[in-house]
Structure formats: structure tokens, C-alpha cells
Amino acid sequence: MLVLSRVVGEMISIGDTISLRIMAVNGNNVRFGIEAPHSVAVHRAEVHQRIQAKREKAKET
């Protein structure tokens, strides 16, 4: 795992096509924006887990 420190307005690049921009920091909360191609699905972890569970359930039937 890579751990980085950034301040508001700075960016982190992932490969050539994905960027994360720090938008705000309020106490323990961090808001960031994600720029990625439409072909890349971007979800919160809990949403991704639900999608994966639905896919697994569909495979079973």
C-alpha cells in the first residue's frame, strides 16, 4: 500500500488515465474528485461489494 500526504488542490495520478484531486479536508473527512475514462467503473467500496454479490448470485442461477 502506498500512503501519500496531499493538500487541497493537489492531485494523485494512477496510470495514464486516472487522477484523484483533493477537494477538501474537514477534520477526519476528506473529499476528493476522481477523473477516469467512462470505461472505468468508479464506486464506493460498499457499492462495489453489492455489485459483486449480485453478479455472484446471478452466476448461481
What are the tens digits of pLDDT across the range 15-31? 999 999 999 999 999 99
pLDDT at res. 15: 96
Contacts of 41 (CB under 8 A, 6+ apart): 48
pTM given for the model: 0.75
pLDDT at res. 60: 85
Q: What mean pLDDT do residues 44-54 have?
A: 96
Whether the Cβ atoms of residue 58 and residue 50 lie closer than 8 Å to each other: no
Q: Locate the domains of the chain by residue range.
A: 11-60
Whether the Cβ atoms of residue 9 and residue 19 lie closer than 8 Å to each other: no
Q: What mean pLDDT do residues 27-36 have?
A: 95
